[in-house]
Structure 1
Amino acid sequence: MSVAILLCLLVGCGGKEEQAANVEEVPLSVLSSANASYDAARQAEQAAYAAQVASYDRQVDPSSVDAYDVEDTGDYVCTDDCSGHEAGFAWAQEHDITDESDCGGKSMSFIEGCEAFARERQEQAEQMAEEDAESADEDDGDSYDY
């Protein structure tokens, strides 16, 4: 039964020879122009994608943020008082720490304060880089004549 339905569909659609006869020939110049347009659009798309990937891959240097511009946001949990955390944060600030792995010591709260400094500094550097990129994008947009 299913073979009969398939045969009816094939016969009803006219078969491949009839379909091919209905297709008009497209001039070669039109095809060449369409291919060139497609290729140009594809290259522009790839260039834009590469630029976007490069901006994501760009490493942000936390040392671009002055250590004394980093504010203690209290990004840690204290048990009694926060003196250990504050001391670790101040030490990291004084020693220009840029990476959490550079934090050490015998006191966990001291280490956490140092790590909080390194994180905050990294976040500020990333924010500055993002603002710079947005500013550059806006500047690029101003150069176009409409």
Structure 2
Amino acid sequence: MEDVFIRYFHFLGIIGVGATLTAEHLLLKSEMTVTEMRRIAVIDALYGLSAGIVLLAGLALWFVVGNADYYLGNWIFHLKLGVFVLIGVLSLWPTFFFLKSRKMTGDTIQVPRKMIMAIRLELLLYFLLPLLAVLMARGYGVMG
């Protein structure tokens, strides 16, 4: 029964990451007010919380519920994990920017175009993860 709860939290985290990343993408503009930036900072904190839930539940699936040897011997799993880590690394710049910007004073904050593109890249990479998960579940990627 514990595997049901672990999978449930894994899915909740996945949904949370997708929702908050999409919200950031839709709300982010090249010029924002401090109030808008504070709102995005809260959404980004929820994004980080959701990603943490995905990571912890995923590790529990890997080491507690699943067959660790299967995951270690599957190149698609390694790719999926690498994409997840890359998304996390890409999210650091926007997170630090949001945290810094919410404390600023003044009317507007200029958001760098490259940062908007980084969030779009995160979202694009995020959409690869379900495909990789389905391929893994179907037995693709097993080495040897």
More helix by share: 2
- Of structures 1 and 2, the one with the larger relative CO (CA 8 A, separation 6+) is 2
Fold conserved between structures, TM > 0.5: no
Provide the TM-score with structure 2 as the length reference: 0.27
Of the two, which has the highest radius of gyration? 1
More strand by share: 2
